[in-house]
Amino acid sequence: MAHSVLLNNIDHHDLRVITRRGAEFGDNVMSAVTFPAEFRNLQAHYPIVLQKSHDGASLVPLALFGFEEGENLFLTKDGWDSTYLPLSLERHPFQIGVSGEQLMIHVDLDHPRVSRSEGEVLFLPQGGTTEFTDRISSVLTTIHEGLQATPGFIEALLRNELVESFVVDIEMKDGSQHRLVGFYTIHEERLAALSSEALMALHQAGYLQAIYMMVASMSQFRALIERKNLAYAAQG
């Protein structure tokens, strides 16, 4: 159970954060929440898809790491096998808090990354923040701003009827069959058929590049399937 408190240099002067990647730190996840401003960095590594929110009222962008719950094909015995780690994973064990217009860092003291004996130091001996803590502050701000921009992006996709569901059927090298369902992507035919005015409106809103990054990211499914085949072979 999370124990989130406001980070400060008095109570947490000796706090450290373990940054290596592993299932024991909660990295064995199938996906991570993302946002349009991150798509350019993500598309070279992971498929970017949409999924209905828990209440079904909206769509949430995700970076996919596997084909079933608890499966992360980028997580190996040596850590994370990619040069880019999604920000929503990098931020742990921190969350952002908002008081009026001020953003503040909270830390989950019960998170397995939190330590008093190993990991990255958060505060200097005289009380100032370290480069690591400054980096986390920047990451949290970027996530906060990105998530605020996401509803407008989703609304634009729906308004232009650019969202379609898809299914990925996977045949493993051992002959077993798997199917990925419940996700959505960009309807490429409708995107190609948009008027110049609609395209310009998406561009001016800052959404067009993110849309094309989503489309480009779908090519990463081939690499993800290959990772799954390799994982199967290793298990065998």
- Residue 236 resides in a domain: no
Share above pLDDT 70 across residues of the chain, in percent, rounded to a whole number:
98
Could you tell me the pLDDT band of residue 54, with boundaries at 50, 70 and 90? confident
Summarised one tens digit per residue, pLDDT across range 66-120 is: 999 999 999 998 999 999 999 999 999 999 987 777 889 999 999 999 999 999 9
Q: What are phi and psi of 4, to 5 degrees?
A: -90, 130
C-alpha span between 60 and 28 (Å, rounded) = 20
Q: What pTM did the predictor assign?
A: 0.93
Could you tell me the pLDDT band of residue 174, with boundaries at 50, 70 and 90? confident
> Cβ(214)–Cβ(201) under 8 Å?
no
Q: Report helix angle 208-217 to 196-204, nearest 10.
A: 100
- Residue 95 resides in a domain: yes
Q: Is residue 57 pLDDT above 70, yes or no?
A: yes
Q: Strand 163-171 vs strand 177-186: parallel, antiparallel, or unpaired?
A: antiparallel
Considering its fold, how many domains does the chain have in total? 1
- Residue 184 resides in a domain: yes
- Residue 235 resides in a domain: no
Q: The domain containing residue 173 runs over which residues?
A: 4-226
C-alpha span between 214 and 211 (Å, rounded) = 5
- Residue 117 resides in a domain: yes
- Residue 154 resides in a domain: yes
Length of the chain: 236
> Cβ(7)–Cβ(106) under 8 Å?
yes
- Residue 185 resides in a domain: yes
- Residue 191 resides in a domain: yes
